[in-house]
Structure 1
Amino acid sequence: MDLPRIFTIRESSHRIHNPFTSEKLATLGEALSPPPGTRMLDLACGTGEMLCTWARDHQLTGTGVDISTVSIATARTRAVELGVADRVEFAHGDASGHVSDEPVGIAACIGATWIGDGPAGTVELLRRSLAPGGTILIGEPYWRLDPPDQTTIEACHATTKDDFRPLPELLEQFGELGCDVVEMVLADHDAWDRFAAAQWLNIRRWLDANPDDELAPVLRAELTTAPARHVRYQREYLGWGVFALMNR
């Protein structure tokens, strides 16, 4: 059980595996201002940047779970770098079925709601670990503009227009799930550019070092078209944000 290699190549330099800068991640932590000692569960945690930096900045404790062995190894190294290895732990596993052994003050899934087959299922999964009065964090795409055709939809990593909602409808969906939206921090164009453009550089460096690898033709084709596709479609039509929810 592991993440396909192509994903770890694309995002080999990323600390945050979503269109979210370190400044926005810090803004979210400051906005929530969790009390020291708050326990956090981060499902599909990637390389653990949120859990590690918040452990440093807000004295949280907690656990991150991810399917990628590469990401988990990087997260553990990051915890040591930031001096928080005694407060956070990282487990390799399938986040889609993970429930905390004890209730947590923050239950998060940032940008991977596929683990619950969408926002609704992911909210229900996170609720199973949440202490009374705790906060759920969901990172999720939304339509910034109405996609005009199927080409645009697929270029934004969707199959149909219904895969994502406009921002007002996404917030209404959280309400229908019995949640109050109590905070949100949204990606902007610069955050999208930092996320996407870093992938291009990672791919180019990998191609230069691995010209005969079996993935080289696939990644060469991707790099040839990705920059124009990003600015034509994803950057303009697709929004992304992290939403803080509390049960009503």
Structure 2
Amino acid sequence: MDLPRSFTIRESSHRIHNPFTSEKLAALGQVLGLAPGTRVLDLASGTGEMLCTWAQAHGVVGTGVDISTEFTARARVRAAELGVADQVVFLHGDASGYVADEPVGLAACIGATWIGNGVSGTIDLLRRSLCPGGMLLIGEPYWRQEPSDQHIVEACHASAKEDFRLLPELIEQFGELGYDVVEMVLADQDSWDRYRAAQWLNVRRWLDRNPDDELAAELRAELSQQPARYARYEREYLGWGVFALMGR
């Protein structure tokens, strides 16, 4: 049970595994007004940057669960670096079935709603760990503009146009599921650039070190094509944001 090796190669230098800068992550923590001692559950927690930095800045406590052995190990190191290892715990496991032992004030899935087979299922999973009056965080892509053909859809890592919604429609979906959107922080093109371009540098450095690896041909082809493809399609068509929800 682990992430594909190609994914960890692309994101080997990333602390945030979404098109979010550290400034946007900090802004999100600030606007939520997190009280010291708030219990947080982060499903698909990656290398733990959200939990670790919010534990340091706001005094939250909590648990992160991620399928990647490498990312989970790095999250534990990050917690020690920031002096919050007594506040946060990182577990290697399948987040798709994880429910907290005790109710939490904030339950999050940032950029991995595949764990619940989409937004609706992920919200239902997170809700099972939430205390009354608690808050959910969902990180999710959306269309910045509607794609005109299937080629654009696939260039944006979707299989069908219906995989994502326009931003107003995504917000309406949360309402249809019984939740108010009470905050949101959105990625912009610069934060997308920082996320994607860092992947290209990670891949190039890995290729220079591992020219004979079994993944080398695949990642060389990806690096040759992906920057222009990103600039032409994904940068223009795909948005991403984190949405704070409270049940009605």
Alignment of 1:220-235 (within 5 A): 220-235=220-235
1:45 corresponds to which residue? 45
Alpha-carbon distance between aligned partners in 2 of 1:40 and 1:126, rounded to the nearest angstrom: 11
Alignment of 1:149-188 (within 5 A): 149-188=149-188
Structure 1 runs, 4 residues or longer, greater than 2 Å off: none
Amino acid across the alignment from 1:106 = L
User: Per the alignment, in what secondary structure is the counterpart of residue 147 of structure 1?
Assistant: coil
Alignment of 1:2-17 (within 5 A): 2-17=2-17
2:116 corresponds to which residue? 116
Unaligned runs of 5+ in 2: none
Q: Deviations over 1:115-135 (max 9, x none)?
A: 001000000000000011111
Alpha-carbon distance between aligned partners in 2 of 1:82 and 1:57, rounded to the nearest angstrom: 10
Whether 1:96 and 2:91 are equivalent positions in the alignment is no
Alpha-carbon distance between aligned partners in 1 of 2:184 and 2:163, rounded to the nearest angstrom: 21
Aligned residues: percent identity? 75
TM-score calculated relative to the size of structure 1: 1.00
User: Per the alignment, in what secondary structure is the counterpart of residue 142 of structure 1?
Assistant: strand
Whether 1:68 and 2:68 are equivalent positions in the alignment is yes
Alpha-carbon distance between aligned partners in 1 of 2:12 and 2:78, rounded to the nearest angstrom: 14
Alpha-carbon distance between aligned partners in 1 of 2:48 and 2:33, rounded to the nearest angstrom: 19
Amino acid across the alignment from 1:234 = E
Q: Deviations over 1:212-244 (max 9, x none)?
A: 000000000000011101110110000000000
Amino acid across the alignment from 2:205 = R
Deviation at 1:159, TM superposition (A): 0.3
Alpha-carbon distance between aligned partners in 2 of 1:77 and 1:137, rounded to the nearest angstrom: 24
Whether 1:201 and 2:201 are equivalent positions in the alignment is yes
Alpha-carbon distance between aligned partners in 1 of 2:131 and 2:11, rounded to the nearest angstrom: 33
Would you say how many aligned residue pairs link Structure 1 and Structure 2?
Answer: 248
Deviation at 1:148, TM superposition (A): 1.2
User: Per the alignment, in what secondary structure is the counterpart of residue 240 of structure 1?
Assistant: strand
TM-score calculated relative to the size of structure 2: 1.00
Amino acid across the alignment from 2:94 = D
Q: Deviations over 1:140-191 (max 9, x none)?
A: 0000011011111001110000000000000000001110000000000000
Amino acid across the alignment from 2:50 = M
